[in-house]
Amino acid sequence: MITKTIRYELANGIATITFDEQGSPVNTMCLQWQDDLDAIAAQVARDKAQLKGIVLASAKSTFFAGADLKGVMRSTAADGPRVFKEIERIKKNFRTIETQGVPVVSCLNGAALGGGWEVALVGHHRIAVNNPKVQFGLPEITLGLIPGGGGITKMTRVLGLMAAQPYILESKLFGPEEALKIGVVHELVATAEELLPRALAYIDAAQGKPEACTHVWDRKDYKMPGGTPSNPKIAGMLSVAPAVLKQKTRGLYPAPEAALAAMVEGAMVDFDTAMRIESRYLAGLMVGPVARNMINTFFFNMNAIKGGQSRPKDVAKYQPRKVGILGAGMMGSGIAYAQATKGIATVLKDVSLEAAEMGKGYTTKLTQKRVDKGQMSAEKQQGILSLITPTASATDLKGCDLIIEAVFEQRELKATVTKEAEPMLAEGGFFASNTSTLPISGLAQASAKPAKFVGIHFFSPVDKMKLVEIIRGKDTDDETIARAYDYVQALGKLPIVVNDSRGFYTSRTFGTFVMEGAAMLGEGIPAPVIENAAMQAGMPVGPLAVLDETALSLSVHVLEQTRLDFQKDGRQYVATPGETLVERMVKEHKRPGRAAGGGFYDYPEGGKKHLWPELKTLFEKPGLEWNLQDVKDRLLYRQAVETARCLVEGVLTSVHDGNIGSIFGIGFPAWTGGALQFIYGMGLDAFEKRCAELANRYGSGFELSEAVKSSLRQHQPQY
């Protein structure tokens, strides 16, 4: 029997079920596959008398990719009953295949993730190719979903409640060797060609052995490893688990809570009831807004970035060999580390050899931590360090494919180092500025080749932050953008491409978040309310804490530079209420930020940081009425409005760059799917209505022009 997604062959008592979705590079649980699985399961049942065993295999380079996520994107709350039936239908067919009284063997030739791993779990015996690049597991939580094709129920019954938690609640993926070690894969082979012979050998040896044809949870003597929730030890741990989870999710992510509930409730009932509980929880999430938001961004938008949708086409792939960095401060030394750990020869230049050596010391410090933990050999560390050449001489930059300037945010200084270093580039090389705010077209005026000048904006700390913002100047050509994109991907980071403007996309939008927080403080809203509201909305930290970390003095420096730039153009820059308050903090109250001793917070030596007590006296207005929802909305909506403005102005050219940039660059809450998905997930009409209310109360920062409204409609994703 051959269907559009599955082939079924019966020969010598062996039924081979081969997943082979036509017209797709991978196998997915699309609606066609669900229909085909009905037919295949029915055929298995009809052939029962002839069966000696069943083999599950794949005709693709991977085993099975999982659910059809486009279908989830089209679901609405009204689809709940239909979605529940679809989930139950898949499981019923799985159950038919695994309960025929014959051994079922899963031949895992490649990755099996999410629904793919649940397909693999149908087999009583699982054989995998021992390739360290192959991944198994249940990453559904990262997309706002839970495993619902039996993944929770089966993994919990195989591993036990506590041991299964990392694989379910934390979406921990694992390779073939770990799978063998924890007992979810039973055999490893060196090549895919060995899978079928080993499967047939297992089926032969299993004849007449009922336990080889029965899953552990179906056996009469089954006991859950570690005990059920009624076990006092497990009960004690479970009593605190929801509180610990709530602390992590802040109640904004329903999937981890649903997964924990399905695990615990399922452990207290029989297998079939546990499977139904799991289906109900999954159906609820699949038709909810958070899953749609997260799938949109962490699957579709992320694949767009990784697949190079913002990279200019028709430019050959570029591999950087030698890259120079100007400035061995925190940013320059972080870039040097990122490059050297990916095998890129790095020349790290500063004004003195001593300063450059200190910059290299950052890589020594980070790699030494890994050596001490046994995560890296001393030889590997030496190999990484040997790739970094510290220097005070510009001539050592000779032959670099790319030179990145990472000096202080001062236009004149950047111009000086550009003119000194650019002539050292290899033939066809290009130059980049790691500025976070200064327009690239202006900085490119110091370059002899503005077409080969680009912005590459890293985020601090470079070793932890995944996002890199590539900024196209007025004259930057496509080849340079494509090469910058390839360079960022070579570092294992996420590139977004934006057009030039003051602050580009991330710094400009992030500025609205921190300055809205400062403005609210100036209005008299208590500082703890502002900070806690940001955390409750899902931001990683409050706006005042962020201003302290990035330095209030830096914000003032940027403000002064902006005023000067406007002045040169014959215009006057009007500071926002937030900028005015930050300027007062620095100039009147001598509070420049954390690095200089204190800003909005005090940092007692050896103690925990706390809000500066004087904020209450200086700014709080005791009689002021404030609304917590308004405070939360002001912080999120202000960023979303700015993102929408960037879209209409052409600073952003795609929705995926905006969503990925806002989450990975400025910490916009992941539950929203990013600043633009926040708008689309809510619905454009509802967003416009709320913005009008906020603009009426809190000013023009929330106003949406007709052009912005039109642009949002034009860019709305369709699934």
Residue 130, phi-psi category: left (phi > 0), alpha (psi -120 to 50), beta (remainder)? beta
CA gap 288, 170 in Å, rounded: 20
Burial class (CB in 10 A: 0-12, 13-18, 19+), 583: middle
The helix (run of H) or strand (run of E) holding residue 400 is strand 400-405
> Running DSSP on this structure, what letter comes out for residue 226?
T
Q: How far apart are CA 544 and CA 11, in angstroms?
A: 70
Backbone angles phi, psi at 612, to 5 degrees: -60, 120
Q: How far apart are CA 226 and CA 430, in angstroms?
A: 59
| Dihedral pair phi/psi, residue 688, rounded to 5° | -60, -40
386 CB neighbour count, 10 Å cutoff: 10
DSSP of 115-146: HHHHHHTT-SEEEEE--TT--EE--GGGGT--
Q: Note whether 468 and 457 are within 8 A (CB).
A: yes
Phi, psi for 590 (deg, rounded to 5)? 55, 50
Distance of alpha carbon 338 from alpha carbon 432, whole angstroms: 16
State the catalytic residues.
118, 140
For residues 634 and 611, the answer to whether their CB atoms sit within 8 Å is no
Distance, C-alpha 15 to centroid of its chain: 40
Q: Which residues contact 494 (CB under 8 A, 6 or more apart)?
A: 302, 305, 306, 466, 467, 468, 488, 660, 664
CB 324 within 8 A of CB 404: yes
